[in-house]
Amino acid sequence: MAVYLSDIHGGWRVFDRDGVKVGTVYEVGPDYVLVQKGVFSRTNIYLPATAITSTDDEQVRLDVLEHEIKDRGWDVPPAG
């Protein structure tokens, strides 16, 4: 099943491969989804479209685990 970024909207919840909440969609870019994590100390995560496996019921599901995200370099905006 293909995932289209145009189907994703701000406010949707983002979950890792095991169903752990990662954060909330803040913005959808041309090839990434900007997710804000945390309540008081917010962290931005720029998820590439390739990391998204599915969307449904205002939720985004990823192919990685939450603790793996920090090692992927997704804390900086994509070039271009």
Residue 38 pLDDT: 81
* Token reading at 32: 């990434």
| Mean pLDDT on 25-35 | 95
Give pLDDT, residue 80. Answer: 65
pTM of the model: 0.91
Q: What is the CATH number of domain 5-72?
A: 2.30.30.240
pLDDT digits (tens, 9 = 90+) for 48-75: 999 999 999 999 999 999 999 989 999 9
Q: What is the mean pLDDT of residues 35-44?
A: 86
Give the mean pLDDT of the chain: 92
* Domain-wise residue ranges, the chain: 5-72
